[in-house]
Amino acid sequence: MTGFARVVTLGCRLNIADSALLYTSLAECGYTPSETEPPDVLIVNTCAVTAEAERKTRQTLRKLRRKYPAARIVAIGCAAAADENAMLRAGADLVCGNPGKRDFAALLGGGRRTPEPSAAGKVFREGRLSSFPFRSRAFIKIQEGCDNHCSYCIVPSLRGPARSRAADEVLAECRHALEAGFSELVLTGVNTCAYTDGERRLPELLREISALPGNFRIRIGSTEPAMRYRGLADAVAELPKMCRFLHLSLQHGCDAVLKRMNRHYTAREYADFVTDAKRRIPGLHLGTDIIVGFPGENDEEFAESCAFIEKIGFSNIHIFAYSPRPGTPAAAMPDRPSPEVVRRRCEALRRIARDSAAAFAASQVGKSLPVIFERIENGIARGWSDNYLEVSVPAGNIVPGKITEVAAAIGNLKPPHQESTDRI
């Protein structure tokens, strides 16, 4: 097989890492990646974490089918696992869930679909290293699946149980990315903090990656805030190559709602964790996810959540309005707030998010920030600091893709966009 191929990635950072592995599979099949040539094969790496994400997946498939009528379109990943028929109706020629990603070369050639060999185990191998076309950062998959079973979440049924990628393969992947010239490694999974390979947990893995030669930095993707993961803060505080960045998904600031969500911590425990992390890591970017309008959420619970969120002082908040996911316990829970109430609550939380993001950006003015500039447009270089602030400066002698120290000033800092479009 020969021709051009493209991967369209929807959803999370883990999907970005999966897409990098898919590009390697496409090369094994003889396809050349291209963002400009009409694709002969077009992979849509789908998302189903929210109802809105599934809708966007179907919309994307229909749009691509109209634009590239001759392409062979493959829907792969979470939305494909959630509703195969919906993917076919939207325009896909072939549909396979997450286990099929490993056997993609055989699937594309019409081979038999085989089960993921590691699904029942705790450690897995991808059997290949990633290709990173069209990216300025290397997204490295280190973990898959989840055992938390939050009452609103469909991911465990789509991604399977928690398991970790073999450490030697992760290290080989990191070396491969560094040799390709990347200056930032983004380690990702469904719950990266759950990483375990024998006696090696995430902090030990981070120390091994950090010991690799070269001038690069390491960023951790979204994590669950279980209190047993305090060693992560140790690693971020102690290792110079670690980005000052933690995205710890709170979901709600009221204990009664956290209990209905089947989250495994209290608001006080969360606060103790992040207060300690902020104390030990100056300039730490603390991001989170918040669900608004969960079944039973009343005015008092929402007010308690807002007060808690304001007290923590997040650098970035992803806000999601709850919508039921079929097959989850929360879908059958009564007393969902009305759409108008949810809309008002989301807007109130967005105001808090904007203020806290601006306060974090202001706190970095006058500091020296390590920045990787990703693009130069009209004489202005734009990139991201290690603590996830967008920085813009005159291009001068800036070399894109390399870590550059920049003095932060009021006019050149911008907090990250406060995401609030999906429903979960």
Q: Where are the beta strands (DSSP E) in 70-183?
A: 72-77, 94-96, 123-124, 138-141, 143-144, 163-165
Residue ranges for the chain with pLDDT beneath 50 = 110-120, 420-424
**Given this model, what pLDDT does residue 136 score?**
84
Q: What is the pLDDT of residues 229-284, one digit of tens each?
A: 778 899 999 999 999 999 999 999 999 999 999 999 999 999 999 999 999 999 99
| The two structure tokens encoding residue 94 | 């072939």
The radius of gyration computed from the CA coordinates of the chain, to the nearest angstrom, equals 21
Q: What is the pLDDT of residues 57-76, one digit of tens each?
A: 999 999 999 999 999 999 99
Mention the CATH class of domain 244-361.
Answer: alpha beta
Across 354-364, b (16+ Cβ under 10 Å) vs e yields: eebbeebbeeb
Q: How many C-beta atoms lie closer than 10 Å to residue 231's C-beta?
A: 14
Residues 6+ apart with CB under 8 A from 285: 243, 244, 245, 246, 315, 316, 360, 387, 388, 389
pTM summary value: 0.90
Q: Give yes or no for a contact between 44 and 60, defined as CB atoms under 8 angstroms apart.
A: yes
**Given this model, what pLDDT does residue 223 score?**
87
Q: Concatenated DSSP letters for 273-330?
A: HHHHHHHHSTT-EEEEEEEES-TT--HHHHHHHHHHHHHHT-SEEEEEE----TTSGG
CATH no. of 136-242: 3.30.750.210
**Given this model, what pLDDT does residue 419 score?**
53
| The two structure tokens encoding residue 332 | 């059958």
Q: What is the pLDDT of residues 359-377, one digit of tens each?
A: 999 999 999 999 999 999 9
CATH entry, 1-113, from 3.30.450.20, 3.40.50.450, 3.40.50.2300, 1.20.1300.10: 3.40.50.2300
